[in-house]
Structure 1
């Protein structure tokens, strides 16, 4: 039986790579090699017998974890405090990021777009620990400073992501409504925002996952929660108590990761 080769669709050849692409790849390769060459990575000392024995002795001090009822109750309070810090910080950040994203997406003109992008760059370039150190001076020790630090940094991240999501939406639907006499705000709410909202919610949930870990770290500078407990017990070399706090952190991160994954799956259906 003969096969009619004329009916087969020819597969187009892949486009040739531009010179700029090869230059970027070459620059990245040089950067990686230079990074390894410039850092004093002492792998032999890291895997030496003395280092392994010291690490084993240190880790053995964490067992068994402290399971006293009074300490578990205290850990549960810090567990909830860390969860609340991350949730409130993420919500505040999303509320601040939305209007900033509108300006950052150029919906209010070019000048506001450039200024807003600069503000978002500043907010997300400053780490949460630095925000917490500054806000601790204003709000004092406790979860308020940690919550505001998470909100400040996350607002910069979400504002940039929200603005990019709005800019990537096809404008035809909104333009069609406005051409037919619909007001700009109503056209945005009915045409553009519904397309970008699932992606925005996904970004917000992902940042909530990150803020759980950040909230635990912020306690190291006195911002409350599990991190503050961990710093306290490690500084006193109370390793069993520190082990309980670490386990609580792992459980909290696992629960939030699972909840966030389930919510994102539901949003994508």
Structure 2
């Protein structure tokens, strides 16, 4: 029997199976999208009407020009520093907790411990940051500390899972070789596996820091301090000029953190 005679039916059968699953998946996605639009009952005519466009344009113009009074700019800069501090503290606490939970979650301490750790990580990240912030405000009171705790709890669940997957996917040969040479479990992990996963873990941490900068600004809406709380206050009393200054500060802060994170990742990649 010719090898081509065997390969062609298999290829044809594989293509047919792939097309069938592709069609079924596409049909389900289209049905879900149509059902979502039908459930929401969006009035696109009113959304894109001339009156709506005029109202949105008038509202956008009310933000100009931003308030550049030196005293208010200093206040906004302090709010930006507070937002950055909340994100940094929350990410740092989450990184430490995520590293501690990633080892048992990766199955290094038995199946039962792995299941318990993964359940805890799933629980932490399944609760949104805003919900955690609402709970932490009740526990710790209004202010930046509640925001930092909220970010730490949610981000621990995210980073712990990512760190665990990085450890699971790392090659086991270096650590196994050290164990066979007589090294203990902890030194074998530190010298065999940790150097392989550390750059990836740092990249995950920096990426979550970028996300937490944005989320820290949003958490201010529930009393967690920073730029978000300033934005909520000025919007609630219809001070659009001051709100525009706060929005500009948010944009600059996000750009600065993104640029710093990008430089750190490039430096790590070149080492």
Asked whether the two chains share a fold, i.e. TM above 0.5, the reply is yes
**Does residue 170 of the first structure (1) align with residue 171 of the second (2)?**
yes
CA distance in 1, matches of 2:12, 2:171: 27
Structure 1 pair 231/162, CA: closer, same or farther in 2 (3 Å)? same
SS at match of 1:240: helix
TM-score if structure 1 supplies the norm length? 0.91
Partner of 2:7: none
SS at match of 1:80: helix
SS at match of 1:67: coil
Offset at residue 53 of structure 1 (A) = 0.7
Offset at residue 15 of structure 1 (A) = 9.1
Offset at residue 177 of structure 1 (A) = 1.1
SS at match of 1:16: helix
Offset at residue 37 of structure 1 (A) = 3.9
Offset at residue 30 of structure 1 (A) = 3.5
Partner of 1:16: 14
CA distance in 2, matches of 1:222, 1:21: 48
SS at match of 1:186: helix
CA distance in 2, matches of 1:25, 1:188: 44
Between 1:20-29 and 1:214-223, the stretch displaced more is 20-29
For residues 129-144 of structure 1, what are the structure 2 equivalents within 5 Å?
129-144=130-145
Partner of 1:214: 215
- Structure 2: runs of 5 or more not aligned: 1-10
Partner of 1:259: 260
Partner of 2:71: 70
Between 1:204-213 and 1:32-41, the stretch displaced more is 32-41
- Deviation per CA, 1:189-245: give whole Å up to 9, x if none: 001111001000000000000000000000001100000000000000011000000
- Structure 1: runs of 5 or more not aligned: 1-12
Offset at residue 29 of structure 1 (A) = 4.0
For residues 93-172 of structure 1, what are the structure 2 equivalents within 5 Å?
93-172=94-173
CA distance in 1, matches of 2:176, 2:64: 64
Partner of 2:227: 226
Q: May I ask how many residue pairs the two structures share in their alignment?
A: 258
Indicate the structure with greater helix content.
2
SS at match of 2:14: coil
Partner of 1:245: 246
TM-score if structure 2 supplies the norm length? 0.91
Q: CA RMSD in A?
A: 1.8
CA distance in 2, matches of 1:203, 1:159: 10
Between 1:112-121 and 1:170-179, the stretch displaced more is 170-179
CA distance in 2, matches of 1:107, 1:209: 30
